[in-house]
Amino acid sequence: MSSTLLFRGGRAFTPDGFAEAVLVRDGVIAAVGAEADLVRLAPGAEPVDLGGGLLTPGFTDAHIHPVQAGLERAKCDLSEVYGLDAYKAAIAAYAAKNPEKEWIDGGGWDMAAFPGGLPHRSQLDFLDRPAYFVQRDHHAAWVNTRALELAGITADTPDPADGRIERDPDGTPSGVLHEGAMDLVGLLTPRPTPADVDAALMDAQAHLFSLGITGWQDAIVGSYAGSDDQLPAYLSAASSGRLKARVVGALWWDRAQGAEQIPGLVERRAMAEGLDRFRATSVKIMQDGIPENFTAAVIEPYCRCGGTGLSYVDPALLGGYVKELDAQGFQVHFHAIGERAVREALDALTGTDPANRHHIAHVQIITPQDVPRFAEIGVTANLQPLWATHHLQMDELCIPYLGEERASWQYPFADLVRHGTRLAGGSDWPVSSANPMEAMHVAVNRTEPGSSVHATYPTAQTPFLPEQSLGLRTVMTAYTEGSAWINRSPAGVIEAGRPADLVVLDRDPFALDPKDIWTTRVVMTFLDGEQVHG
């Protein structure tokens, strides 16, 4: 392609509205405006026909796990099927195709496919080898009896401090390991080689380019839940130029340690200094789990089962850790789902420097009194909109245990905006689809996109707390400018002087019935004016 491009034949999404055409020269946006004016500026520019579609900035995913996703795609991937029979068929086929593998492992199973959200070890005991399958949202693992035996896990094995071993009524481990208990088996599985990890990263990058994602923040760079440290793979890919996307790594905060790990984080950050496409300037603190397994930290006990979940980092110490990270110039990237975890994160971030662009991801449950605090403190809400629907997991494993009032506090996107909160958007892939257009569909409609496995669930098209829906412009800005801002990326906006990280959509979602937003597809993706997809 020419070094001078003229995007025309549709319209472009800009901060002030829409533009008719965009001129790109040497990888940089040179001008935005009327097509006739830009033709006069560069009469020899190579035209790129938008075909009536929309040109947007490249999307940035502010909370994602690409290496893990790539590794799972190379193993027994259950994310494209649903239900026990389908899972067993896929696992049996994979085992037959890979007789040399010592373990049968993979991921992508959905809690909603099982009564009470819990599979059982016996359902994997048809295999002649140990099995380890990570749950779709990476907060639990499903293992068979052989895997439990190899790990020495019995009725007498205590729960780790940051997890739980699910048990049968007689105390025998049932085959589900929650949170920190995943490592009891996960660390025994065969380790991927550096070549495997590199291939996973490159596969993930290609997939994300196909969805218009030109940058991301990897939400766990470190060893967690049986996975190895991804930092070497990023350093290698960035040094060689194979990593083309703009990436920030969120270094994992080891919740078994305290402030003594901060010098090591500083050293790890320094390893990426000078690289063009990768920086390790964020630290990820996972403060709680998820409500479906009662590990999300809540204020009042869960209905029916009691308990108030887990705060993985002692709240009395959390503020001190965060202040020290802030003083070291780190951005803090929180995982907080329950309303107590959100409050603990906000408390810890109070008094920190807003210039470090701290953010809280997931924010599933927020008390009404805590919603205004995001804007007051200068903390960004990092949204994963795909989860804000009446899907099976929500209706059967969340709402009944949260109770009516607390369930009404879930994903209060519009309330956050009304109070002036800055938004970023992410997917948590492979927990859920990485497709930004599907996430935008949910943010606008609060219903399942038609592509979802839950799309035909009885209440899937009933809007979930519709008063919390966002306008398409608001959520598209979150996935472009908002997430790029989190990453200190110069991209994310279509205006002169910005890098030409651009996406051509096959239609203009602003011209569609909102119920059809999810049907929008990416035709071409450009990074610094270079076409990387399409």
pLDDT one-digit tens code per residue, 245-290 = 999 999 999 999 999 999 999 999 999 999 999 999 999 999 999 9
How much is the pLDDT for 136?
Answer: 83
The residues, ordered by sequence, that sit 6+ positions from 307 with a Cβ below 8 Å of its Cβ are 294, 301
Q: Is the dihedral of CA 271, 273, 275, 280 positive or negative?
A: positive
Contact yes or no for 348/319 (Cβ under 8 A): yes
Determine the pLDDT at residue 290. Answer: 93
Q: In the chain, what percentage of residues exceed pLDDT 70? A: 100
| Residue 224 pLDDT | 83
Tell me the pLDDT tens digit for each residue of 123-166: 999 999 999 999 988 889 999 999 999 999 999 999 998 889 99
E-strand spans in 427-527? 502-505, 522-527
> Six-digit token pair at 521?
């597809």
Summarised one tens digit per residue, pLDDT across range 434-475 is: 999 999 999 999 999 998 878 888 899 999 999 999 999 999
What's the pLDDT at 318? 98
424's torsion region: left (phi>0), alpha (psi -120 to 50) or beta?
beta
ω into 400 cis (within 30 of 0)? no
Q: How many C-beta atoms lie closer than 10 Å to residue 235's C-beta?
A: 18
* pLDDT at residue number 317: 98
Q: In this predicted model, what pLDDT tens digit does every residue of 479-527 receive, in sequence order?
A: 999 999 999 999 999 999 999 999 999 999 999 999 999 999 999 999 9
Q: Is the per-residue pLDDT at 352 higher than 70?
A: yes
Distance CA 240, CA 256 (A): 34
Enter the tokens of residue 124.
């994997």
What token pair was written down for 119? 């599979």
Confidence class for position 113, pLDDT limits 50, 70, 90: confident
The CA-atom distances, in angstroms, between 303 and each of 338, 403, 449 are 14, 6, 30
Would you state the pLDDT for residue 1?
64
Q: Is 479 helix (H, G, I), strand (E, B) or coil?
A: helix
pLDDT tens sequence across 292-351? 989 999 999 999 788 999 999 999 999 999 999 999 999 999 999 999 999 999 999 999
Residues 6+ apart with CB under 8 A from 393: 110, 111, 112, 117, 292
Contact 3, 25 (CB under 8 A): yes
Look at strands 54-57 and 21-25 and give their pairing.
unpaired
Helix axes 262-271, 231-240, angle to 10 degrees: 20
The backbone region for 44, taken as left when phi is positive above 0, alpha when psi lies in -120 to 50, beta otherwise, is: alpha
CA 386, 391, 394, 397 dihedral sign is: negative
Average pLDDT, the chain: 95
In angstroms, the CA 402 to CA 303 distance is 6
Neighbouring CB atoms inside 10 A of 500's CB total 24
